[in-house]
Amino acid sequence: MAKLNFGGVEENVVTREEFPLSKAQEVLKNETVAVIGYGVQGPGQALNQKDNGINVIVGQRKNSKSWDKAVSDGFVPGKTLFEIEEALEKGTIICYLLSDAAQIALWPTVKKHLTPGKALYFSHGFGVTFNEQTGIIPPKDVDVFLVAPKGSGTSLRRMFLQGRGLNSSYAIFQDATGKAFERVVALGIAVGSGYLFETDFKKEVFSDLTGERGTLMGAIQGIFAAQYDVLRSKGHSPSEAFNETVEELTQSLMPLVAENGMDWMYANCSTTAQRGALDWWKKFRDATKPVFTELYESVASGKESQRSIDSNSKPDYREKLEEELKELRDSELWQTGKTVRSLRPENQSTKPEEQNDNVENLFKKMIDEHDPIR
Ligand SMILES: NC(=O)c1ccc[n+]([C@@H]2O[C@H](COP(=O)([O-])OP(=O)(O)OC[C@H]3O[C@@H](n4cnc5c(N)ncnc54)[C@H](OP(=O)(O)O)[C@@H]3O)[C@@H](O)[C@H]2O)c1
C-alpha cells in the first residue's frame, strides 16, 4: 500500500504497479469467486475477472433476461453459471451484487452458505452500515469487505476493454482469516479498477448516497432544469437553451475538465467566459451548500436508506418508477435533448443532401412539438 499526497492530504492507496494483476492471480488462484447477480455491476465485474484469468462463476435466478445475458456473455449453465443457491455453495468468495433491496430479501439464503473462512464481498456499504434496516449482519468467522467501483458496471467493462480502469474504493469490515487485505485488493485489481483508495463501509455509503443525490445526478438535473427554464422564460429557443445548458457541457467542456482539470478549462476559454465563471462560481457554491448539508444529514440519519428500501421493495416499484421517468422524458428539456443528439454529425446520414433534409425536418418537428412556453 502506498501513501500518496492528494492536494496536501496523505491517503492510503493501492496502484496497479505495486499490486500487479499477476499478484492478484496468485492471491486468488485457489478461490472460486461467485458473482451473485447479473444486473449492472455483475456483468462488468464477472467478465473483467474472467478475462483476467480468475476462476469466476455466476449465480443468477433462471427464467430471467439477466440469465440469458450471462449465457450470451459466455457463462455456461452447469459449469460457470448456476442458480443463486448453487453458486453460493460453490463460491469461496461471494460477490453480493444483487440490487440493494434484493440483498435484504436473499440474505437468509446467503447467510446459510457463509461457512468459516469464506469471504463476503460487497460493492456498496449499504447493507452492512444500515443493518438495523436491512438485517444484514454477517457471521463473525468470514471476511467481509467491499470494492466499490466509482461508476456504472457498463463503464467498468467498457474502460477495461479500452485498456483503461475505473477507480474504486475498498474497505475491510471484518478480517476473520488474516487474509482480508490481500483478498480485497486482489479482487479490486481483478475487476478492473484504476487505482484503489481506502475507506470504511460507513464513509463509502454516506459519500455514495450524497454523490448520486448531489452533483452526479440529482443536483445536476436540478441545475440544468433551473437554467433551461430561465432561458426559455426569457424568450430563448429550445435549441439555444439546451445547447447553452447541457450540450456544450457534456460534449465540449466536461471532456476537457476530465483530461486537464477545471483550472485548465478556465484558463483556456474566452476571457469573457473566464471572468464570468470566476465571478459567479462562489455564489452558486454558497447557494447550494445548505442543500448539500441537509442532504448529507438526511443520509447520515438513515432517512435516505429507509426511503430507498421502502420504495424499492413495493410490488408496484417498477410502474411508479416508469411514471417518474416518463415525466422527465416528456419534459421539453429532454425532448429537446433527444432532437439535439440526433443532429450530432456522428448520428446523421453521411450524405450531405440527406443531412440538410434531416436537419430541416428535425427543426420543424422540434418547433412544432416543443414550443409551448412562447
Ligand atoms: N449500478 C452500478 O453500476 C453500481 C455501481 C457501484 C456499486 N453498485 C452496487 O453494486 C450492487 C449491485 O448493483 P446493480 O446496480 O448491479 O444491481 P441491479 O442491476 O439492480 O441488480 C439486479 C440483480 O439483482 C437480481 N435480483 C433483483 N431482485 C431479485 C430477487 N428478488 N431475487 C433474486 N435476484 C434478484 C436481478 O435479477 P433479475 O434480472 O432476474 O431481476 C439482477 O441479477 C449494489 O450493491 C449497488 O449499490 C452498483
Q: What is the mean pLDDT of residues 11-28?
A: 95
- pLDDT at residue 354, as a whole number: 53
Q: For 24-38, 197-211, 310-324, 352-366, which range has the lowest pLDDT when averaged over its residues?
A: 352-366
Per the annotation, the verdict on 124 as an active-site residue is yes
β-sheet bridge partners, residue 170: 147, 198
What phi and psi values does residue 154 have, to the nearest 5 degrees?
-65, -45
- What is the Cα–Cα distance from 371 to 362, expressed in whole angstroms? 14
CB 139 less than 6 A from any atom of ligand 1: no
Return the CA Rg of the chain.
Answer: 24
Position 116, amino acid: P
Quick one: which of 40, 33, 49 has its CA closest to 82? Answer: 33
- pLDDT at residue 355, as a whole number: 44
Phi-psi region at 53: left, alpha or beta (left = phi > 0; alpha = psi -120 to 50): left
Distance (Å) from CA 65 to ligand 1 centroid? 13
CB 66 less than 6 A from any atom of ligand 1: yes
Cβ(48)–Cβ(72) below 8 Å: no
**Residue with the three cell numbers 436473499:** 106
Grid cell locating 21: 494483476
pLDDT tens digits along 104-143: 999 999 999 999 999 999 999 999 999 999 999 999 999 9
Distance (Å) from CA 225 to ligand 1 centroid? 29
| Beta strand pairing call for 193-198 and 166-174 | parallel
**Mean pLDDT rounded to a whole number for the chain:** 93
Question: What pTM value is reported for the model?
Answer: 0.90
Question: How far, in Å, are 208, 218, 219 from residue 292 at the CA level?
Answer: 13, 11, 9
Burial (CB < 10 A; 0-12, 13-18, 19+), residue 183, is buried
Position 26, amino acid: E
